[in-house]
């Protein structure tokens, strides 16, 4: 199958022009092309020469490579009445960019032609009828980008800027208001994120308290030693931000459960808590592993798990 690579964008405007005009078999009349476009058509393997001709058998216009003119209804060879010379982009051409990114790249003729169910996880589709970054669903697993952005992917700096914008927009797909007020959904999300993190093992969920919600436990390897960790999810989207006093309570509770580590997942944290955490003031002798997952960090973690986003945040 012909492939479009970075080398095809030595003249980005010409390449993009031909893609937009000729995606999926659109006829590129030689009379309508610029000199640069015609020269590029003759060079690229993903473009083939075809003739558009008026069939002497059925009277309609067909397209076929030179010397292969036939009636597409009867499949019989014919002598065309009229012929227009031109080219077409080979259908279902693929992108083969040697880029250090975890997205797979595709190009399609229109957004209505994209079957997202067949695309792999984390796909970017370039489309001529899209003007901005669009996600196929609230999980953000498929990203639609304007076709003219395709050339930017051959430039490392521009590519990183586009990917950063995609990442930021994916984070905003998560709306805490969609979760139940009691915090049950939030607890499940935190525990599932812990379970999928390769740093943790021996996960177990159970136990509850009136102010803490359900407690979870896991282990982490610290310096070659297994360390037991208390996991707490505190859904405070419509309440007060988590502060240092509450974190200290969690640390004392960890001690009672023979845990030397604490993970706290919470939507909002106070400014004082963030500064104290950054300075290391919240660590104690008994709790030497402390992680506070605030809203932005949880969204960043969720961006890597679109199935969880889809389950809890899709309508």
Measured distance CA(196)–CA(108) in Å, rounded:
34
pLDDT 10s digits, 256-298 = 999 999 999 999 988 777 666 666 666 556 788 999 999 888 9
Q: Which two tokens stand for residue 222?
A: 């610290």
Whether 252 contacts 290, CB under 8 Å: no
pLDDT at residue 315, rounded to an integer: 57
Helix and strand totals (H; E) in the chain: 8, 15
Distance, in Å, from the CA atom of 287 to the CA atom of 249, rounded to the nearest integer, reads: 12
Q: Answer for the pair 55, 83: CB distance below 8 angstroms, yes or no.
A: no
Q: Where exactly are the structural domains of the chain? A: 1-91, 97-173, 178-313
Query: Where does residue 202 fall: left (phi above 0), alpha (psi -120 to 50 degrees), or beta otherwise?
Result: left
Contact 228, 260 (CB under 8 A): yes
- Here the tokens at position 219 are 């282990």
Q: What is the CA 163 to chain-centroid distance, rounded?
A: 9
Q: What pTM value is reported for the model? A: 0.64
pLDDT, tens digit (0-9, with 9 covering 90-100), for 297-309: 898 888 778 788 8
Specify whether the CB–CB gap between 173 and 139 falls below 8 A: yes
Confidence band of 212 (pLDDT split at 50, 70, 90)? very low
Q: What angle do CA 282, 287, 291 make, to 5 degrees?
A: 60
- pLDDT tens digits along 23-56: 877 899 999 999 999 999 999 989 999 999 999 8
Asked if residue 237 lies in contact with residue 204, where contact means CB atoms within 8 angstroms, the answer is: no
Task: List beta partners, residue 27.
Answer: 88
Pick the CATH number of 178-313 from 3.40.1350.10, 1.10.1670.10, 2.60.120.10, 3.20.20.120: 3.40.1350.10
């Amino acid at each position: 199958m012909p492939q479009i690579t970075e080398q095809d964008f030595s003249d980005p405007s010409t390449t993009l022009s031909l893609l937009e005009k000729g995606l999926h078999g659109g006829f590129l009349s030689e009379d309508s092309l610029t000199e640069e476009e015609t020269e590029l058509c003759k060079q690229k393997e993903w473009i083939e020469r075809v003739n558009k001709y008026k069939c002497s058998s059925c009277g309609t216009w067909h397209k076929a490579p030179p010397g292969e003119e036939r009636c597409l209804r009867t499949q019989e060879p014919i002598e065309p009445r009229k012929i227009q010379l031109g080219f077409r982009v080979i259908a279902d051409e693929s992108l083969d960019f040697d880029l250090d990114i975890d997205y797979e790249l595709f190009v399609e003729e229109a957004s209505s032609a994209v079957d997202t169910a067949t695309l792999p996880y984390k796909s970017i589709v370039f489309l001529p009828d899209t003007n901005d970054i669009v996600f196929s669903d609230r999980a953000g697993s498929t990203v639609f980008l304007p076709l003219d952005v395709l050339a930017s992917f051959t430039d490392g700096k521009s590519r990183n800027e586009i990917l950063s914008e995609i990442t930021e927009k994916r984070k905003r797909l998560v709306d805490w208001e969609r979760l139940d007020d009691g915090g049950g959904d939030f607890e499940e999300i935190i525990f599932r994120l812990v379970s999928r993190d390769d740093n943790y093992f021996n996960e177990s969920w159970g136990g509850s308290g009136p102010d803490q919600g359900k407690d979870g436990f896991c282990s982490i390897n610290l310096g070659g030693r297994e360390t037991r960790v208390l996991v707490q999810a505190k859904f405070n989207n419509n309440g007060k931000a988590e502060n240092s006093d509450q974190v200290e309570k969690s640390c004392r509770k960890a001690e009672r459960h023979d845990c030397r580590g604490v993970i706290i997942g919470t939507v909002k944290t106070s400014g004082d808590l963030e500064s104290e955490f950054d300075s290391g003031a919240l660590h104690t002798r008994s709790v030497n592993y402390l992680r506070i997952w605030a809203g932005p960090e949880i969204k960043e973690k969720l961006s890597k798990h679109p199935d969880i986003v889809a389950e809890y945040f899709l309508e």
